[in-house]
Amino acid sequence: MNISEKLQTRCVIVGGGPAGMMAGYLLARAGVQVAVLEKHADFNRDFRGDTIHPSTLELMHELGLLDEFLKQPHQEVRELRGVVNGQVVPIADFTRLPTRCKFIAFMPQCDFLNFLSGHAKRFPTFQLHMETEVVDLLIENGRVIGVRAKTARGELEARSDLVIGADGRHSIVQARAGLERREFGVPIDVLWMRISKKRGDPEQSFGFFQHGKLLVLLDRGDYWQCGFVIPKGGFDEIKARGLPEFQNDIVSFAGFLRDRVAELDDWSKIKLLTVQINRLRVWCRDGLLCIGDSAHAMSPAGGVGINLAIQDAVATANLLGEKLRNGPVSVDDLRKVQARREWPTRLIQGMQVFIHHWIVTGRASREKLDAVLLSGRSRDRVGPCWARPPPHRSRNLDNAAAAPRESAAPSVRPRGRFGPACCCPIC
């Protein structure tokens, strides 16, 4: 391969999504030379995850970014509700959480990433390379020492002490590293689409459950983002039935959409998300670490993907930042990231598998489902476990409080509640 450009840095991060951009920001904040390589020209994508849970908003506060962050376009949801066989059911109430933000924020992922990258660029140790598609790893004597990439200007060879794979569920880093992945069968896929919103529409609802079927509506201000759950591999059969039948299916869940469901007049307006749940058995090898969807692909259930990815990034920076600033990190150092993050990942994936197999697909009896979702106990919940911060206050082992908020010198650990641990609300 002819190399037209070379780059030498302490850490190369492949992928500019939530995991990669947060890791880049935090490592640069800790004074680590870091380069984020993103294959696209911008962050705009249709139907990317945009659910920001209270635990992530708490992290933004601890980083001193929350006030400015909440000035970005977003919607705030303080209660998640469902409609189960025609009856409105409260699912989660965030107003009693012990956090500054007692709500979930829905923010377009492109706005989130533009915000984060903008702040990361203030650090002299941070680089962001757009339109830079990693195609292979550089390996010497069994150790990953960098990546090869295609750019708009030619080819790039980027060498580093550590490569972080944050390039999503179709990770080229994961594949080239030869890391073994464990797949968990998911019996559903999701069709995403947009339908206009009108004055007088119902308030934000989490979903419509009807005899084992599910339609999710997310309020996007001037339109509804709709997620229609279908059996795995069933999209071709739905298309064969025709658009009018599909439109009738939507109306059967949400009758108030009857006067505008015809906006779905072409299958190109309906996007298929092939749902996956998987994780790597081992997240690292010498010189390389995978985080986010590259290490563990999540389903859309609960909207937890962004938040787990960010928690991976925080753990990575907390555990590796100081050592990486001064030189290479060992495989034992990299294994500590998996050791910290694997348990919450396993727990939430287990919950998602349960939801898919027993609730969304209707395999649980209708009586049992009604008993769970219609029980008054749902009122006693203060939100899903992944949305809540830990009940204790960790010891803060660094001196970040004495340093400027975005100084390149202090430890990466945010001040306050989460201290030396990651911001995971479970681990």
Q: Report the pLDDT value the prediction gives residue 360, as an integer from 0 to 100.
A: 60
- How is 105-158 classified by DSSP, letter by letter? EE--HHHHHHHHHHHHTTSTTEEEESSEEEEEEEEETTEEEEEEEEETTEEEEE
Q: Report the pLDDT value the prediction gives residue 90, as an integer from 0 to 100.
A: 83
CA distance 317 to 418: 13
Q: Report the pLDDT value the prediction gives residue 16, as an integer from 0 to 100.
A: 96
Strands (E), 197-256: 207-210, 213-219, 223-231
Which residue ranges of the chain lie beneath pLDDT 50? Answer: 1, 365-366, 368-388, 390-427
CA atoms within 13 A on the CB side of 254: 29
CA distance 261 to 270: 12
Kindly give, in sequence order, each residue whose CB lies less than 8 Å from that of residue 26, ignoring residues fewer than 6 positions away: 313, 314, 316, 317, 321, 412
Q: Report the pLDDT value the prediction gives residue 359, as an integer from 0 to 100.
A: 61
**Whether 56 contacts 64, CB under 8 Å:** no
CA distance 83 to 62: 36
Q: Which helix (H) or strand (E) holds 195?
A: strand 188-196
Q: Which helix (H) or strand (E) holds 402?
A: none
**Whether 235 contacts 272, CB under 8 Å:** yes
Strands (E), 212-291: 213-219, 223-231, 271-273, 277-280, 284-285, 288-290
Q: Report the pLDDT value the prediction gives residue 313, as an integer from 0 to 100.
A: 98
Counting Cβ atoms within 10 Å, is residue 392 exposed (0-12), middle (13-18) or buried (19+)?
Answer: exposed
User: How far is Cα of residue 293 from the mean position of the Cα atoms in its chain?
Assistant: 8
Tokens of 98: 């012990």
**Whether 225 contacts 218, CB under 8 Å:** yes
Among candidate residues 320, 294, 321, the one with its CA nearest the CA of residue 305: 294
Tokens of 10: 């302490």
Q: Report the pLDDT value the prediction gives residue 51, as an integer from 0 to 100.
A: 87
Counting Cβ atoms within 10 Å, is residue 249 exposed (0-12), middle (13-18) or buried (19+)?
Answer: middle
CA distance 409 to 250: 54
CA distance 174 to 227: 29
Tokens of 22: 């947060």
Model's pTM, two decimal places? Answer: 0.83
Tokens of 239: 């298309």
CA distance 195 to 226: 7
Q: Report the pLDDT value the prediction gives residue 406, as an integer from 0 to 100.
A: 33
